[in-house]
């Protein structure tokens, strides 16, 4: 608490000073807290890029510290182990993108007023991702590539993806159940697995499509791959999940 000098007026109108006590404002972080947040973000930004390129085991704590231009002791101080840094990287952006996707799907369901379509559900799920891609932000690009890598790791991919993304995926599956009445759950989950594979290849941004197409296609052309992915995925869900009458 800080001592401050305040004043009141007597009945005669003269000011009378006294020593009082006021509380510090809790609304704004102090200099130390701001520096702490800055340092944490520097480490997470550096880790995001390194993990996206080299994976969990291809990066050392020294690599993280050097890339962030901090002492290795600070990495341990703020996060503990390298694996905990890895989880912190996932957690930092997953909450933001998942909230955006949940809001997008809820908004679509409300606007569709019971007339849901497969295309509409897929679009609502993907649009927040496309919005991030359009910004061409290096941090989000690195994060997308890291998620793509994690999704294909036998050792820790399943656990990581389930921990951070299952809730939003189940929300999509729920919309698709409503859009395809009578769809079998096994078909829905297999269709999603195949859709996820397509999305991850695009998000990995390896430059493969540029080489394959002799530069006719670009990994960063969101408008080009976005509409195609929605159409491709929707057709796949319908082909696999729509009930067919027995002959």
Residue 46 lies in a domain: no
Residue 28 lies in a domain: no
Alpha-carbon distance 124 to 134, whole Å?
16
**What pLDDT does residue 246 have?**
55
φ, ψ dihedrals at 182, nearest 5°: 85, 0
Model-level pTM greater than 0.85?
Answer: no
Residue 100 lies in a domain: yes
DSSP secondary structure letter of residue 6: E
3-state secondary structure at position 144: helix
- Number of domains the chain contains: 1
* Averaged pLDDT in 10-residue chunks for the chain of 247 residues: 40 42 56 90 96 93 96 96 94 94 98 96 97 88 91 83 94 98 97 96 92 94 95 98 74
Alpha-carbon distance 242 to 118, whole Å?
11
CB-based contact 202:225 (threshold 8 Å): yes
Residue 83 lies in a domain: no
Q: What is the CATH number of the domain that holds 190?
A: 1.10.357.10
What's the chain's length in residues?
247
What tokens were used for 116?
């849901």
Q: What sections of 29-156 are H helices per DSSP?
A: 31-54, 61-68, 72-79, 82-112, 118-135, 138-150
Residue 39 lies in a domain: no
Burial of 246 (0-12, 13-18, 19+ CB in 10 A): exposed
**What pLDDT does residue 17 have?**
41
**What pLDDT does residue 20 have?**
43
Q: Which domain holds residue 116?
A: 88-241
The residues, ordered by sequence, that sit 6+ positions from 107 with a Cβ below 8 Å of its Cβ are: 124
Residue 202 lies in a domain: yes
Residue 47 lies in a domain: no
Euclidean distance between the first and the last CA atom of the chain, given in angstroms as a whole number:
81
Residue 106 lies in a domain: yes
What tokens were used for 48?
């995001």
Alpha-carbon distance 210 to 245, whole Å?
42
């Amino acid at each position: 608490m800080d001592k401050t000098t305040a004043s009141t007026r007597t009945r005669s109108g003269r000011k009378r000073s006294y020593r009082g006590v006021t509380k510090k404002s809790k609304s704004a972080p102090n200099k130390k807290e701001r520096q702490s947040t800055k340092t944490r973000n520097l480490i997470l930004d550096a880790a995001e890029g390194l993990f996206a390129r080299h994976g969990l085991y291809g990066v050392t704590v020294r690599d993280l510290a050097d890339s962030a231009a901090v002492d290795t002791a600070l990495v341990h101080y703020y996060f503990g182990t390298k694996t905990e840094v890895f989880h912190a990287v996932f957690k930092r952006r997953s909450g933001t993108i998942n909230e955006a996707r949940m809001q997008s799907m809820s908004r679509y369901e409300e606007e569709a007023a019971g007339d849901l379509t497969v295309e509409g559900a897929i679009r609502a799920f993907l649009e927040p991702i496309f919005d991030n891609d359009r910004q061409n932000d290096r941090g989000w690009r690195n994060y997308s590539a890291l998620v793509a890598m994690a999704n294909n790791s036998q050792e820790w991919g399943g656990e990581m993806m389930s921990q951070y993304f299952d809730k939003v995926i189940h929300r999509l599956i729920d919309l698709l159940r409503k859009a395809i009445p009578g769809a079998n759950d096994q078909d829905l989950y297999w269709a999603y697995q195949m859709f996820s594979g397509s999305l991850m290849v695009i998000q990995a941004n390896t430059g493969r499509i540029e080489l394959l197409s002799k530069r006719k296609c670009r990994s960063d052309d969101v408008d080009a791959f976005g509409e195609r992915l929605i159409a491709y995925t929707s057709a796949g869900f319908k082909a696999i999940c729509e009930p067919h009458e027995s002959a």
